[in-house]
Amino acid sequence: DTAVSQTPKYLVTQMGNDKSIKCEQNLGHDTMYWYKQDSKKFLKIMFSYNNKELIINETVPNRFSPKSPDKAHLNLHINSLELGDSAVYFCASSQYGSGRWGTGELFFGEGSRLTVL
């Protein structure tokens, strides 16, 4: 049973289009995240939701809009896609106080590779 699942795994689209990525976690965690991994493998947090409430919103263009319908789901909608949006987007979840060191280990999905042409 996949703990954090993202769909789609691959997304190829034209500049200017709008696209969405969906994420679901079955770990019972209260916090979910979106991370962006660029072509150089650099991982950067974009958003974090705790119990459906936005708690972290890094300096991300407002073309990116996360939505959390419930604490098990976090979706990412991107408007007016640009070439620079091409990256792998990772969803992750955590529960503070849980995990091997009680610090809220991050569990990542397998990523959604977005290619903007």
Partner 1 sequence: QQQVKQSPQSLIVQKGGISIINCAYENTAFDYFPWYQQFPGKGPALLIAIRPDVSEKKEGRFTISFNKSAKQFSLHIMDSQPGDSATYFCAASRQGAQKLVFGQGTRLTINP
How many whole angstroms separate alpha carbon 28 and alpha carbon 91?
A: 15
Segment interacting with partner 1 (CB under 8 A) among 16-24, 45-53, 61-69, 70-78: 45-53
CA 21, 27, 32, 36 dihedral sign is negative
- Encoding tokens for residue 24? 């679901």
Site string for partner 1, 55-74 (x = CB under 8 A): xx------------------
Segment interacting with partner 1 (CB under 8 A) among 15-23, 35-43, 65-73, 75-83: 35-43
Segment interacting with partner 1 (CB under 8 A) among 20-28, 66-74, 76-84, 90-98: 90-98
CA 116, 65, 20, 104 dihedral sign is positive
* Least distance from partner 1 to the Cβ atom of residue 17, Å: 25
27, 45, 60, 72: residue in contact with partner 1 (rule CB under 8 A): 45
90, burial (CB in 10 Å: exposed 0-12, middle 13-18, buried 19+): buried
How many whole angstroms separate alpha carbon 70 and alpha carbon 97?
A: 21
Site for partner 1, rule CB under 8 A: 4, 31, 33, 40-45, 48, 50, 55-56, 90, 92, 94, 96, 99-101, 103-111
